[in-house]
Amino acid sequence: MSAPKKKPKETADLPMPDNPDQAMEATSPETPTPAAPAPALPGLKHRVVAPLQVRGNLGKSTEAIVRGEWMRARRISWQGFDLDQDNRTLSEALPEEVQLVELSPEPVSDLVRLLRAAAKASVTSIDPRAHLHSLILETLKLLNFTEWGAALGVRLM
């Protein structure tokens, strides 16, 4: 014999508490949240976000804009670099934080300069154009980024 099935409680019938938990209340979209707490990982002070996609039209710039607005609303210190000279999506959407970077004939040196600037903000967002993934990976390898970044408290996300 199987056990009798319990009837689910109707939550709509339960009374609302007089003092709801303040942490569960939604904030107004116009009200910025308090400044972000310190990073969870010891020694991690700066993050570099750079999508490594091979194709275009995948939403790299859209995601970068959403992330930028999210950081702006939370008063997180951040900077951005738009490497897509043709579309300029990120730099036009967030001109206060994002700089359009036109890569020179020596693009590795341009990327090295951007990665070295990562220590100037909590988050550095890089929005590359499609097909720059191999150049970014080559530059990270050239810099020995994992060791160099660890020494400065910078992590690639």
Q: Reply yes or no on whether the pLDDT at 30 is more than 50.
A: yes
Residue 62 lies in a domain: yes
Tokens of 6: 């319990």
Strand order in the sheet with 123-127: 98-100, 78-82, 123-127, 46-49, 154-156
pLDDT of 39 reads 47
89-125: pLDDT as tens digits: 999 999 999 999 999 999 999 999 999 999 899 999 9
| Owning domain of residue 142 | 43-156
Domain with residue 53: its CATH number is: 3.40.50.300
Residue 31 lies in a domain: no
CA atoms of 39 and 56, how far apart (whole Å): 32
Q: Reply yes or no on whether the pLDDT at 36 is more than 60.
A: no
pLDDT of 24 reads 44
39-91: pLDDT as tens digits: 455 678 899 998 887 767 778 899 999 999 999 999 999 999 999 999 999 99
CA atoms of 125 and 67, how far apart (whole Å): 9
pLDDT of 52 reads 84
CA atoms of 6 and 147, how far apart (whole Å): 57
Residue 68 lies in a domain: yes
Question: What is the count of structural domains for the chain?
Answer: 1
- pTM for this predicted structure: 0.71
Q: Reply yes or no on whether the pLDDT at 3 is more than 70.
A: no
